[in-house]
Amino acid sequence: MKQFDVPALVEADPSANATDLLVARVKETPNTILFALPTSDGGWSDVTAAEFLAQVTALAKGFVAAGIEPGDKIGIMCKTSYEWTLIDFAVWFAGAVLVPIYDTSAPSQILWNLTDSGSIGMITETAQHFASFDEIRADAPAVTYTWKIDLGDLDKLASSGVAVTDVEIERRRTIAHGSDLATLIYTSGTTGKPKGCILTHSNFVETSRNAMRAIPEVVNPESSTLLFITMAHVFARFIAVLSVHGGVKVGHQADTKLLLPSMGSFKPTFLLAVPRVFEKVYNSSEQKAEAGGKGKIFRKAAEVAIAHSKAVDAGTVPFGLKLQFAVLDRLVLSKIRAALGGRVAYAVSGSAPLGLRLGHFYRSLGMTILEGYGLTETTAPISVNLASNFKIGKVGPPLPGVSVRIADDGEVQAKGVDVFAGYWNNKQATDEAFDGEWFRTGDIGVIDDDGYLEITGRKKEIIATAGGKKVAPALLEDPIRANPIIGQVIVVGDQKPFIAALITLDDEMLPVWLNNNGLDATMTVSEAAVNPRVIAEVQSAVDAANSHVSRAESIRKFVILDADLTEGSGHLTPKMSIKRNVILKDFADSIEGMYSGSPETEGISLAH
């Protein structure tokens, strides 16, 4: 059993709660710009730390005047926005607790989160959000307070609280101590009912304070970031709190179609994203170059960029490569850099492996992608690469104040300032999640001699073929998904004679690829799934992934599904992770079809 401990860099304060982070920021730098709000002319309007605190206090007074008491829980459905963090801190200042609900949640999911948590209030952003809540309202009688952001209820709340004193708000905001509940975040539920993760104020406070010390190059008052991933997820929620602590300027853009224009005007210094976003930027750039007759030079630039980054790691960049890179950087890479705002120096990537290819490509683009690793149960980060010493392909050393060990069966286990207090109303699940004081992550990984962690798969997802070969699906799925026309990949083969895969096409990139390859761009996904050229392209992606594993681990057959896997179809979680068990059940016939009839034959491609 290998263990690596990183001592905390900040002395813990058991009396502190999340509101202290904002109070300390205002006391230290009241005029620091903490937020920028989009304006109608495409610009941004700044909000200082002092202004944000004033707005938080006014809204907190509104909650108090409305009847919210310390310890009360309030549900929220809201897209990524300034209002999300404003509400978050205002609820804390009122002494209450926020219960996030994904804005894409079905009524049944909303009902579970509200009733299981015991929420008495609900905040919605749009008419659609309220309609989803209204469907189950009669089944959640405890929810007696409702506020609608789209109808101006936040302003009404702030106006209604003028009689509440500052003394009362100070009393309420200081009631909670470090070990008290800060929020209940429900896991996205790949199997069974979602579980409410009890995250404490110390989880946010101590993790934020240590994270800022760990990556000061990224988190500082000169930094800025544009948040676009959902704030109902712990990843963005933690970054929002960390940014208040670190004095980072934050903008928001929930509509990913407007992301590039927003980045162009906001000009962030770092990004927070999942690997799929980095894949999309790369693939879109490649297909755009292809459409303009410059596909060949783009691919050459990417090849040289990756080689250049690898040479940097090796310690020497040959003169010829250095010259090639300088030319192609000016011709190709600089344009991608400009599209991202021109100032992005770092990105924090989580939720899935990024892959060596993209890590090296973006590094040569001038963007250091710091892969990190964590779960809802660990307030986001367990580990993160250091800006001063990062390793592509690893998810970094443990965060200061965190210890990681690899159990005898390869499972990653953690303890420290970030680990949650257990599952709400679920002692059995809590007991199962811990080995003594160590949290069982359910992931498989290894630690190198420097303490850098590498995640190799999910413990529950390891496939054991009939021949006894153990295969981690992610090792095959991630490189295949990098192909522009591929949406999702689900590797199968548990107790089967060989490894196979279910594959879907990316409906966004497919028309672009079809057009660039002289095919009918209006072709439907069903038609494309049986098109020989499309099948050949998918086969090439499968072959590329197979080249990195042994024959026993390689994909021998695949099915291109004519159905899309979405959150709406029940096959993806809100953070776009696949619900493997649901998919295996729903597409059981397609899977069995690959193992029946003809014996296993290399390179067979089937469509369904």
394 and 505 fall within a common domain: no
Give residue-wise pLDDT tens across range 109-139. Answer: 899 999 999 999 999 999 999 999 999 999 9
Tell me which residue of 95, 93, 96 sits closest to 19, measured CA to CA.
93
* Mean pLDDT calculated for residue range 175-201: 88
Question: Given 460, 480, 503, which residue is the final one in a domain?
Answer: 460
For 45, the domain range is 18-176+224-268
Q: Return the pLDDT at 192.
A: 64
Q: Return the pLDDT at 599.
A: 45
Rounded Cα distance, 12 and 252, in Å: 31
Q: Which of 2-6, 497-501, 517-521, 588-592 has the highest mean pLDDT?
A: 2-6
Residue 600: pLDDT band by 50, 70, 90 thresholds? very low
* Mean pLDDT calculated for residue range 570-593: 82
CATH code, 94: 3.40.50.12780
Q: Tell whether 207 is covered by a domain.
A: no
Answer yes or no: is pLDDT of 606 > 50. no
289 and 301 fall within a common domain: yes
Answer yes or no: is pLDDT of 522 > 80. yes
Average predicted confidence (pLDDT) for the chain: 90
Question: Given 268, 300, 322, which residue is the final one in a domain?
Answer: 268
76 and 133 fall within a common domain: yes
Answer yes or no: is pLDDT of 602 > 50. no
Name the phi and psi angles at 496, rounded to 5. Answer: -110, 165
Q: Tell whether 12 is covered by a domain.
A: no
Tell me whether strands 145-148 and 121-124 are parallel, antiparallel or unpaired: parallel
497 and 392 fall within a common domain: no
Question: Given 268, 284, 300, which residue is the final one in a domain?
Answer: 268
| β-pair partners for 578 | 572
Give residue-wise pLDDT tens across range 281-328. Answer: 888 888 888 888 888 999 999 999 999 999 988 889 999 999 999 999
Q: Return the pLDDT at 604.
A: 42
Answer yes or no: is pLDDT of 384 > 50. yes
418 and 495 fall within a common domain: no
Q: Tell whether 199 is covered by a domain.
A: no
Name the phi and psi angles at 382, rounded to 5. Answer: -95, -40
Question: Which DSSP helix (H) or strand (E) runs through 588?
Answer: helix 588-595
The answer to whether the beta carbons of residues 529 and 512 sit under 8 Å apart is no
CATH code, 565: 3.30.300.30
Domains contained in the chain, number: 3
373 and 230 fall within a common domain: no
Q: Return the pLDDT at 173.
A: 97
For the ranges 160-169, 256-265, 516-525, which has the lowest average pLDDT? 256-265
DSSP string, 98-153: EEE--TT--HHHHHHHHHHHT--EEEESSHHHHHHHHHHGGG-TT--EEEEGGGTH
Answer yes or no: is pLDDT of 570 > 60. yes
Answer yes or no: is pLDDT of 190 > 60. no
451 and 486 fall within a common domain: no
Q: Tell whether 191 is covered by a domain.
A: no
287 and 161 fall within a common domain: no
| β-pair partners for 273 | 349
Q: Return the pLDDT at 607.
A: 43
- Percent with pLDDT over 70 in the chain: 96
Answer yes or no: is pLDDT of 466 > 80. no
In terms of Cβ atoms closer than 10 Å to its own Cβ (0-12, 13-18, 19+), residue 515 is middle
* Mean pLDDT calculated for residue range 53-78: 98
The answer to whether the beta carbons of residues 522 and 507 sit under 8 Å apart is no
Q: Return the pLDDT at 496.
A: 84
Q: Tell whether 46 is covered by a domain.
A: yes
235 and 291 fall within a common domain: no
Residue 41: pLDDT band by 50, 70, 90 thresholds? confident
Q: How many Cα atoms occupy the beta-carbon half-sphere of 121 within 13 Å?
A: 21
Answer yes or no: is pLDDT of 375 > 60. yes
In the structure encoding, which two tokens stand for residue 122, read together? 């609900």
Answer yes or no: is pLDDT of 163 > 90. yes
Query: Which residues fall within 8 angstroms of residue 529, CB to CB, at 6 or more apart?
Result: 505, 535, 560, 561, 562, 607, 608
* Mean pLDDT calculated for residue range 96-115: 93
289 and 419 fall within a common domain: yes
Q: Tell whether 23 is covered by a domain.
A: yes
* Mean pLDDT calculated for residue range 405-409: 94
542 and 475 fall within a common domain: yes
Q: Return the pLDDT at 373.
A: 93
Give residue-wise pLDDT tens across range 428-458. Answer: 999 999 999 999 999 999 999 999 999 887 7
Top pLDDT among 167 and 341 is at 167
Q: Give the single-character DSSP code of 452.
A: -
297 and 440 fall within a common domain: yes
Q: Return the pLDDT at 188.
A: 64
Name the phi and psi angles at 390, rounded to 5. Answer: -110, 155
Q: Tell whether 106 is covered by a domain.
A: yes
